[in-house]
Each structure stands twice: as C-alpha cells, then as structure tokens.
Amino acid sequence: MKTQATLLIGAAVLAVTSCDTKNYTEQDRVQATQNLENYVDSVETAVKVVPVHNWSVIDERYDSLDSRAEKVYNDLKVEDDNLEMIEERYETVVKNAKTEAENFERTAEMHMGNVETWWDKTTADVEKGTKNTAEDIEEATQESLDWLEKNFDKLGDETKKKYQEITAELQRD
C-alpha cells in the first residue's frame, strides 16, 4: 500500500515537473526582460520619492522576476548579458537607496534630537513657572521642526510619534 502511494506521488511529481518545462519563445524572452527592467525602473523611482523601504519584499520580487527571466534565457540558450546589466543596475539602485535612507535617518535623528533637547530644557522651565510659547522656539529648533514637518510622511513611526507629541504640547500652550 505504501509503495503504491509512493509511486503515485512520484508519478504526479514527474507529471507536474515535465509539464513545467516548456519551450519559451522570443516574445517570452522580450517580455521577461521588459518585466525585470520595468521593475528596476519602478524601484529606482520609488526610492527617489520615499527613502525608507522594506528591502526584503523588494528583493523577493526582483529575485522572482530575475529567476523567471533566467529560465527563459536558459531555455532559449541565449546569452544573458541583458540580465547582467539589469542586475548591476538594480544592485547600484539598491546600494544608493540604502545609503540615502541611512543619510535621511541620520538627518531625521539629528533634527528630532535638536527638538527633544530644546523640549527637555524648556519643559524643565515650565515646571519652574515659565510658560512655553511658539515664540520661545530657538531658530535652530524651528528649522528642525520645519524639516520634520516637511518630511513627516517619510519619517519612521517612532519619530512621527515623538514629533506629534511635541507639536501637540506646543499648540496647547
């Protein structure tokens, strides 16, 4: 009984894998290359708009498209110079984007640090009876608040929360 089940499963796997190997056409190669290139274009555009991304999801999708293209190229026995150029471009885009994201995060932390330092100092004054007002904000702190507001949608969740808490307190005073 076990032997029959094993043979049936083996036959099913063989049937599925034999159906999976297919002869691709030149149109399939062009389409696979275009899909991969379009994806790299979209990643390049996205990283210019928003600096922080989920790279594991992006890499997973790239790997899927790249794998498909490689299958087609191998099946057609075509040189994959196009794929290599696209891969180099993708790696450059990712490397540059990660560097930009690190720079953005450092800048956000610097601005948030400026605001928090000022906030900690001035809230200590509040406890002594001095009221915080928007007019009391130092120029450097105001620049940091302005930068954080301008880049709010690009900030990490923790920085957004801190920024919202401080600005809400400023508006109450």
Q: What is the pLDDT of residues 121-152, one digit of tens each?
A: 877 765 554 555 555 677 888 888 888 888 88
CB pairs under 8 A, 24+ apart, for 93-99? 93/40, 93/43, 93/44, 93/47, 94/43, 94/55, 94/58, 94/59, 96/47, 97/43, 97/47, 97/51, 97/53, 98/55
| pLDDT tens-digit map of 42-75 | 999 988 888 777 889 999 999 999 999 999 999 9
Give the pLDDT score at 62.
Answer: 94
The DSSP secondary-structure symbol of 128 reads T
Q: Between 137 and 100, whose confidence is greater?
A: 100
Handedness of CA 150, 153, 158, 162 (dihedral sign): positive
- Over range 101-124, report the average pLDDT: 86
- Which helix or strand (DSSP H or E) is residue 148 part of? helix 139-150
Q: What percent of the chain has pLDDT over 90?
A: 36
Give the pLDDT score at 130.
Answer: 53
The DSSP secondary-structure symbol of 130 reads P
Give the pLDDT score at 28.
Answer: 93
- Crossing angle (nearest 10°) for helices 81-127 and 55-76: 180
Give the pLDDT score at 7.
Answer: 43
Q: Which residues contact 141 (CB under 8 A, 6 or more apart)?
A: 114, 115, 118
Q: Between 11 and 119, whose confidence is greater?
A: 119
Average pLDDT value for the chain: 81
Compute the distance between CA of residue 126 and CA of residue 169 in angstroms, rounded to an integer.
Answer: 12
- In the chain, the largest separation of any two C-alpha atoms, in whole Å, equals 87
- Over range 93-99, report the average pLDDT: 92
Compute the distance between CA of residue 49 and CA of residue 80 in angstroms, rounded to an integer.
Answer: 31
Closest by CA to 137, choosing from 149, 128, 145, is 145
Give the pLDDT score at 11.
Answer: 47
Q: Which residues contact 172 (CB under 8 A, 6 or more apart)?
A: none
